[in-house]
Amino acid sequence: MTAYATLRTPRLEIAYLEWNPGGERVAVLLHGWPDSPECWRPVAQRLAAEGYRVLCPALRGFGPTRFLDAATPRSGELAALGRDLLDFIAALGLRRPLLVGHDWGARAAANACGLQPGVASHLALLSVGYGTNDPAQALPLPQARNYWYHWFMATPRGAAAVREEARAFTRYLWDTWSPSGWYRPDEFDEAARAFDNPDWPAVVLHSYRQRWGFEAGDPAYAEDSARLVPAPTLALPTLVLHGGADTCNLPATSEGREHYFTGGYERRVLDGVGHFPQREAPQAVAAALLKFHADGPAAR
């Protein structure tokens, strides 16, 4: 098991996993919800074997990552996730890494690129369509049905489930977002340990409530949030990987997004794969990332 390292940013002590610290190229892989940095292990090992330094931070509210100040609002808003990533990159002195994100991590990576153009050399987004942060966005009824858990968490009953039944709630999502039998119980148990973070319930509930306008954001991120809605155009090469059997974010939610990207854009649908491509098809994901980044500049 790879041990966590930690670093301090202005608001957080961020815990992260690292492979191949001496690698010439750098890839930062960001997990989603409900998951943990360990989700990237097979992909990270493959990238490390190809000479990459691979860093997998735990997002705010997950795993060993902690807020530095008890008075800091436990915001889960998407702008905060993007700013956290920029702070992480700055703290390590990374120069234009490859950014790869799944679910919440995809939103963090895209938002970091929107807030600071040029921060990354390449961007890869898994299981998320870009430009879907706006609470006023059109939402087809099949996708609104899939987002039942968003609406559930806006109720007292849903909030209680997050606070008191985190494992049962999140395991139900794992069981219904991908084809059956895709994970082992020990894999879920490892991921679920990240939900024992004392800030996890508050961050999760705020994230989904603020996303749809049910709660206000942290004023510290007001300027960043304003810059991200509507979604800015991104000028770096971007790859989107979406599972064809994803029943959380339907594949259609990442279609027709090419107009947001001026630096090159590719989208691939992975047949038979659900919402967790890096877990369900890690070798296919790793191969796609390596091919996508093959001609890019070295980054430190």
At 13-38, the pLDDT tens digits run: 999 999 999 999 999 999 999 999 99
What is the predicted pLDDT for the residue at 133? 77
Strands 98-102 and 122-126: parallel
Residue pair 29/17 in contact (Cβ under 8 Å)? The answer is no
pLDDT tens for residues 47-61? 999 999 999 999 999
Q: Which of 159, 204, 186 is nearest to 59 (CA)?
A: 204
Domain spans in the chain, listed from the N-terminal domain onward = 5-134+141-295
What is the predicted pLDDT for the residue at 295? 61
What is the rounded average pLDDT of the residues 286-292?
A: 98
Q: Which of 54, 118, 116 is nearest to 87 (CA)?
A: 116
Q: Which of 295, 290, 300, 1 is nearest to 124 (CA)?
A: 290
H or E element at residue 283: helix 282-293
Q: Which of 97, 92, 101, 87 is nearest to 120 (CA)?
A: 97
pLDDT at 261 over 80: yes
Residue pair 81/61 in contact (Cβ under 8 Å)? The answer is no
What is the predicted pLDDT for the residue at 297? 45
Q: Which of 134, 141, 4, 120 is nearest to 62 (CA)?
A: 4
Superfamily (CATH H level) for 5-134+141-295: Alpha/Beta hydrolase fold, catalytic domain (3.40.50.1820)
What is the predicted pLDDT for the residue at 189? 98
pLDDT tens for residues 207-239? 999 999 999 999 999 999 999 999 999 999 999
Cis amide leading into 201 (omega within 30):
no
What is the rounded average pLDDT of the residues 141-155?
A: 97
The b/e string for 125-155 (b: 16+ C-beta within 10 A; e otherwise) is: bbbbbbbbbeeeeeeeeebeebeebbeebee
What is the predicted pLDDT for the residue at 298? 44
Residue pair 262/147 in contact (Cβ under 8 Å)? The answer is no
